[in-house]
């Protein structure tokens, strides 16, 4: 997993609420047996019509917006457990998602892939949307060490929560699996007394 420390970038605003993982990556694109290449099908049916023509009005098709931070409406990533959603966002170039609420499984999947979910207050999310609407080149700065999201050149900033364990993993590029493998003898010991009926 890639390390994450700080990130300063312009953003892509997607104010839609309840963006589900079927929108992020539709099921018909889950047929690959590798982790690569999902980015080209990210938000496929919002980006392209049935004739594969780009749809006007969808934010990812607007060349005046760019950046590696996606700012989305509340309850981002609800629905299916498909980790392909996190892979697709990462493969497309996103390194952080900001929202006022994340679905559980998506949040875990993102963290396991070096994609940082930053949960902010509804008010702060609104401020970001307003600033980006008036100035497309507005940059955000995410500082994982200080757990701080700020908007450089403005007075706005907010602390965000992340579990201490997950923070260490991201800062160092560690996977859960490395940690669990290091606990193998303890797991075997647990099995000695664990009764399954």
Partner 1 sequence: MSKTLFEKVWDSHIVDSVESGQEILYIDRHFIHEVTSPQAFDGIRRRGTGLFRKNRIVATADHNVPTKDQHLPIKDLLSKLQVDTLIQNCDDFDIELYGLGHPYQGIVHVIGPELGITKPGMTIVCGDSHTSTHGAFGAIAFGIGTSQVEQVMATQCLLLERPKTMRITINGNLADGVSSKDIILYIISKLGTAGGTGYFVEYAGSAITALSMEARMTICNMSIEMGARGGMIAPDEITYDYVKGREFSPKGDSFDKAICHWNTLYSDEDAQFDKEYAFEAEEIPPMITYGTNPGMGIGISDKIPKSNSESFKKSLKYMGLEMDMSLLGKRIDHVFIGSCTNSRIEDLRIVADYVKGKQKAEHVKAMIVPGSKQVEKQAEEEGIHEVLKEAGFELREPGCSACLGMNEDKIPEGEYCISTSNRNFEGRQGPGARTMLVSPLTAAIIAIEGKIVDTRNFVNEVVTA
Where does this chain bind partner 1 (CB under 8 A)? 15-18, 20, 22-23, 26-28, 30-35, 45, 50, 73-75, 78-84, 86, 101, 103-105, 108-109, 112-113, 163-165, 168, 175-177, 179-181, 183-184, 186-187, 190-191, 194-197
Q: Which whole-number Å values give the CA distances from 55 to 17, 49, 104, 163, in the listed order?
A: 20, 6, 30, 39
CB of 157 to partner 1, least distance (A): 25
- Phi, psi dihedrals of residue 183, rounded to the nearest 5°: -100, 10
Q: CA angle at residue 20 from 37 to 44, to 5 degrees? A: 40
CB of 76 to partner 1, least distance (A): 10
Residue 118 to residue 99: CA distance in whole angstroms: 6
CB of 152 to partner 1, least distance (A): 28
CB of 46 to partner 1, least distance (A): 8
Smaller CB separation from partner 1, 33 or 64: 33
Smaller CB separation from partner 1, 57 or 153: 57
Q: Give the pair of three-digit tokens for residue 17.
A: 């609420």
Please name the residues in contact with 22: beta carbons below 8 A apart, sequence gap of 6 or more: 79, 80
Residue 130 to residue 134: CA distance in whole angstroms: 6
How close are the terminal C-alpha atoms of the chain, in Å?
Answer: 38
Smaller CB separation from partner 1, 11 or 78: 78
Radius of gyration from C-alpha coordinates of the chain: 18
CB of 130 to partner 1, least distance (A): 14
Q: Give the pair of three-digit tokens for residue 193.
A: 């007394």
Smaller CB separation from partner 1, 47 or 141: 47
Smaller CB separation from partner 1, 56 or 196: 196
CB of 93 to partner 1, least distance (A): 20
Smaller CB separation from partner 1, 134 or 182: 182
């Amino acid at each position: 997993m890639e390390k994450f420390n700080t990130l300063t970038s312009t953003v892509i605003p997607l104010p839609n609420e309840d963006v589900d993982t079927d929108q992020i990556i539709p099921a018909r694109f889950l047929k690959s047996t590798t982790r690569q290449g999902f980015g080209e099908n990210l938000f496929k049916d919002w980006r392209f019509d049935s004739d594969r023509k780009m749809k006007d009005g969808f934010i990812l098709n607007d060349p005046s917006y760019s950046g590696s931070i996606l700012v989305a409406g509340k309850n981002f990533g609800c629905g299916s457990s498909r980790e392909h959603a996190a892979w697709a966002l990462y493969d497309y170039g996103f390194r952080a998602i900001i929202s006022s609420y994340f679905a559980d499984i998506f949040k875990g999947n993102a963290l396991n892939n070096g994609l940082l979910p930053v949960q902010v207050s509804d008010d702060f999310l609104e401020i970001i949307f307003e600033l980006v609407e008036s100035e497309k080149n507005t940059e955000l700065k995410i500082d994982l060490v200080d757990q701080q999201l700020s908007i450089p050149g403005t007075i706005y900033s907010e602390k965000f929560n992340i579990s201490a364990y997950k923070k260490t993993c991201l800062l160092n590029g560690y996977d859960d699996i490395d940690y669990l493998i290091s606990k193998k003898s303890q797991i075997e010991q647990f099995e000695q007394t664990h009764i399954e009926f």
